[in-house]
Every structure is written in structure tokens, then in C-alpha cells.
């Protein structure tokens, strides 16, 4: 089955039924990898193949919305990294396995655009505003290019469901991604991201605080 985006429709809606069928199919492909008693430090890689007549950077195919249902189904707390890419292809792939630290590539060796520690509730508008302001300090104009690569690292305590931070964090990156309507700063052009990496670092000394570090550039 092709990957399915998150659905906010009711339980009986066709989009929700498609999502459930897709998640069941993924679970059937990798029962040991996603078993409840399996390894607690996993990584997931999703490669989304789209038809050649489908735009990669328009149309609302946000990569975090492909990843979030998988995190919810299999338990975000068992994963330290999620990766997604979209490209023109006749097929899609998914891989789940142990999360392994590796020597950074060229992108990760570069200095991050910014890193910010937040103390306010991550469910409040003030949390997104904190990231948005930090973003504006380093980027006054959107990053040019047809497609972007975005890397986010979240330092959190082990008790936090870090997947709930993905969407509000990306929504706050309008100065990097572009904002079609400045009056709606938390509605960025996030479908410009064609390569997404999400990392977690567990630090229980942070308590309720969250540290978000951002890299972004042309894909």
C-alpha cells in the first residue's frame, strides 16, 4: 500500500479507514520490529514514492503527517529517530530497526541554524512563538530552493511523548520555510520539505523543559 497521511476525520470516514488499513499492513510487514516487547531504541525510515505528475513541494503532503500515525501506532517512546523523504517513484519503502549512533554527515557537521530551550507548555501558543522568534533572529527571508532538507533534534525527558512536538515545531518555522500569509505565521509552506529527519535525545534533568535544535537547507 502507498503511505497514508494522518487523518483528522471521524472514525467512520473513508480517510480514517484507509489509514487504519495502512497501519495494519505495516504492522504485518514487521511484527518483530514493532512488537511491544521488542527493542526500545528504534529508528524508522519512510521513503514516499509519488507519481511523476504529483508536485513534491505543493499539495499538503507534509512528511511529518506521514510519520506521526506510525509513531502513534507503534509508540513514539520506543523510537529515537524518524526519517522521511518524498520523491517521484513508482514505489515506497519503509524500514524499522535499531537506532544506532553514527558519525555525522556533512549536513550534521554544519552549525545548526539555532537552538532554543523552552520552559512554557508545549501545547500553548507561547511555545510556538518562542521558536518563531528564534527563527526570525537567524533568517529574515525563506531559504531558497525548490525542495528543502529539515533536521530537528528534540532534547526531552524520557516521560514526554516527543512526537506531539513535531507539528507545532515545524509550524513555527515560517521564517525558514516561507509564509504565504504573514497574518497566519503558524501556517508555513512546510510541504516544501522533501527530506525530514527527527531525532530525540533523552535528558531527564530537563524536567518539563525542551531543547529544540534546527538545521535546514536545500535538499
Contact 202, 78 (CB under 8 A): no
pLDDT tens-digit readout, 1-54: 889 999 888 888 889 999 999 999 998 887 776 666 555 689 999 999 999 999
Q: Report d(CA 14, CA 7) in Å as an integer.
A: 10
List, as one string, the DSSP characters of 114-145. EEEEE-S-TTSHHHHHHHHHHHHHH-SSPPPS
Residue-level pLDDT at 39 = 57
User: 192's torsion region: left (phi>0), alpha (psi -120 to 50) or beta?
Assistant: alpha
Give the three cell numbers for residue 102: 553514527
pLDDT tens-digit readout, 75-132: 999 999 999 999 999 999 999 988 988 765 555 557 899 999 999 999 999 999 999 9
Q: What are phi and psi of 107, to 5 degrees?
A: -65, -40
pTM assigned to the model: 0.93
Amino acid at each position: 500500500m502507498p503511505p497514508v497521511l494522518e487523518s483528522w476525520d471521524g472514525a467512520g470516514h473513508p480517510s480514517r479507514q484507509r489509514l487504519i488499513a495502512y497501519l495494519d499492513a505495516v504492522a504485518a510487514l514487521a511484527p518483530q520490529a514493532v512488537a511491544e516487547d521488542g527493542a526500545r531504541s528504534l529508528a524508522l525510515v519512510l521513503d514516499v514514492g509519488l507519481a511523476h505528475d504529483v508536485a513534491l513541494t505543493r499539495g499538503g503532503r507534509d512528511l511529518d503527517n506521514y510519520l506521526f500515525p506510525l509513531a502513534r501506532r507503534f509508540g513514539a517512546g520506543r523510537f529515537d529517530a524518524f526519517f522521511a523523504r518524498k520523491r517521484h517513484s513508482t514505489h515506497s519503502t519503509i524500514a524499522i530497526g535499531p537506532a544506532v549512533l553514527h558519525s555525522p554527515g556533512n549536513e550534521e557537521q554544519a552549525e545548526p541554524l539555532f537552538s532554543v530551550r523552552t520552559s512554557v507548555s508545549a501545547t500553548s501558543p507561547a511555545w510556538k512563538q518562542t521558536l518563531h522568534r528564534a527563527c526570525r533572529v537567524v533568517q529574515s527571508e525563506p531559504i531558497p530552493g525548490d525542495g528543502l532538507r529539515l533536521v530537528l533534534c528534540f532534547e526531552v525527558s524520557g516521560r514526554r511523548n516527543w512526537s506531539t512536538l513535531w507539528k507545532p515545531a515545524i509550524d513555527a518555522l515560517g521564517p525558514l520555510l516561507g509564509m504565504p500569509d504573514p497574518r497566519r505565521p503558524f501556517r508555513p509552506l512546510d510541504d516544501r520539505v522533501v527530506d525530514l529527519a527527527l531525532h530525540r535525545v533523552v535528558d531527564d534533568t530537563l524536567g518539563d523543559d525542551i531543547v529544540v535544535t534546527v538545521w535546514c537547507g536545500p535538499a
